[in-house]
Amino acid sequence: MSAATPNGTTTMHLILAWGFVGIPLAWGVVETLLNALKLFQ
């Protein structure tokens, strides 16, 4: 999990960075998607 690339970035760094951005964004997208589904109900 901590294999470093030549520039010193570890897999853990990548997971943290993408999670920091991706988790809140995924929550927002799901909320919006649920709202958008009302168009088809």
- 21 contacts another protein (rule: CB under 8 A): yes
Distance CA 24, CA 30 (A): 10
- 41 contacts another protein (rule: CB under 8 A): yes
- 19 contacts another protein (rule: CB under 8 A): no
**For the chain, percent helix, then strand, then coil, each to nearest 5?**
75, 5, 20
Question: How many CB atoms within 10 Å of residue 10?
Answer: 13
Measured from the CB atom, is 1 or 37 closer to another protein? 37
Point out which residues bind another protein (CB under 8 A).
17, 20-21, 24-25, 27-29, 31-33, 35-41
